[in-house]
Structure 1
Amino acid sequence: MCGGRGTRLGGETEKPLVEVAGTPMVDRVLAALSGSRVDAVYAVVSPHAPQTREYLAAVADADSGGADVDASAVTILDASGDGYVEDLDFALETVGVPVVTVAADLPLLAADHVNEVVAAASDGDGSSREGRDGDGTVDARSVAVCVPTALKRRLGASADTAFESESRNLAPTGLNVVAPGEEIVHVSYDARLAVNVNRPPDIALAEALCD
């Protein structure tokens, strides 16, 4: 999901193109997805981020993406920009489920994070979970990956959304699986997933945590 304005960051650079340690965040996320178990990668853009669309189109045409990015494997989806939920619904209708979704403001995402959530969706054993309708097969589960808000506070990361789950105060990371089966919450204590770049101090924090 890379169609947001990023107004809280200020400046003229669209949010997905904001650089962390010299690399645009969208390239960092694409690299993580390209190195993971996912079958295909879709970049959901909107009219609010025309430079991002132009950048991704140029990268795909040149087949010269950022580090570890197979640009030819990235398909651009043009959403309406009416809102995150509306754009996500459009993407889900276009691509189908199960699908991994991730926000472009998660620059420290790694392939192992993606593989972990895919495993959680498939019961942790890495096997495929097909639809259950009495034939003994099982739907893949929807998974919401969250971190404790206490971890965000300790790091100094911005935390705009939080909720209570089993007496724990959690914040969504922007990494999820949308699937036909039941929804579970997967809690991670990995600092890399606690940093969503929403404000200028988050950039410095992400750079400090870069390998």
Structure 2
Amino acid sequence: MTATIALIMCGGKGTRMQSRTEKPMTELAGEYFIERILLALQGSGRFERILAAVSPNTPETRNFVRSTGGLETIDTLGAGYSQDLSTVLKKLAPAKVLVMPSDLPLLTVAIAQEIMDKLEDVGVPAASIAVEKSFVEDLGVTPSITFGNLCHSGITLFDTAQVKGEIRESYIIMNRTEIALNVNTKREKEIAQSLVKCANDLSSDKCL
């Protein structure tokens, strides 16, 4: 049986955050982004291995990951998302690899399980999660990667045994706040903080 690996992409410069802190090491509710995502993926029970793709851009992230249990690092050049991802996928073949950005700190165990339920039996080289553009905008967020009325979440399940040449993705829509809120800016972090605070307020009915 082909192994299933979770790969968290942590090698970018994260310039839109306008912070000296590496984006995966940004704190939300007392935990780092990378830490929150790791806990969700571990808790899902769906992965044989969980890796963080790091680069010279993210030395603090590399050190943190290596100090924790249950998460491995894999080095990239930090040459760009697509190039780094292609290099890593070749190294991990022939596994199935769930690629997850490091800017989804609202990810939960239940959402991670739902993602795999929807993607793992699609049977194509690349199956991705998309969110309706209007859903993202209703959160007060400006979508970054759009096509038509959809936004790419950055989450894709690759069957590396089938990945050859140009890859055409299949998309499954999941309008979930935990997926729609990619935290790339200070404003988006503020939105994430308000949602976490709201979720902890048992008297509120407008939370996650």
Give the number of aligned pairs: 181
> Does residue 17 of structure 2 align to residue 19 of structure 1?
no
Cα distance change on mapping 1:156 and 1:98 into 2, 3 Å? same
Contact kept, 8 Å, 1:117 with 1:177, in 2: the verdict is: no
Instruction: Tell me if structure 1 keeps the 8 A contact 2:119–2:127.
Output: yes
Once the two structures are superposed, what CA deviation does each residue of 1:161-194 show, in whole Å capped at 9, x if it has no partner?
Answer: 1002xxxx11111211011387420101111111
Aligned twin of 1:79:
76
Is the contact made by 1:192 and 1:209 (CA closer than 8 Å) also made in structure 2?
Answer: no
Match of 2:202 in 1: none
Structure 1 residues 1-211: aligned runs within 5 Å: 1-36=9-44, 37-57=46-66, 59-60=67-68, 71=69, 73-96=70-93, 97-123=95-121, 139=123, 142-164=126-148, 169-179=149-159, 180=162, 183-210=169-196, 211=199
Greater shift in the superposed pair: 17-26 or 177-186: 177-186
RMSD: 1.8
Distance 2:119 2:22 in 1: 32
Aligned position for 1:65: none
Q: Is the 8 A contact 2:119 2:128 kept in 1?
A: no
Cα distance change on mapping 1:117 and 1:140 into 2, 3 Å? farther
- Percent identity (aligned): 31
- Name the SS for the 1:123 alignment partner: coil
Alignment partners' CA distance in 2, 1:122 and 1:56: 26
Runs of 4+ in structure 1 over 4 Å off: none
Rounded Cα–Cα distance in structure 2 between residues aligned with 1:123 and 1:177: 10
CA apart distance, 1:142: 2.4
CA contact (8 A) 2:37 2:104 kept: yes
Alignment CA distance shift 1:101-1:143 (3 Å): same
TM-score normalised over the length of structure 1: 0.80
Unaligned runs of 5+ in 1: 61-70, 125-138
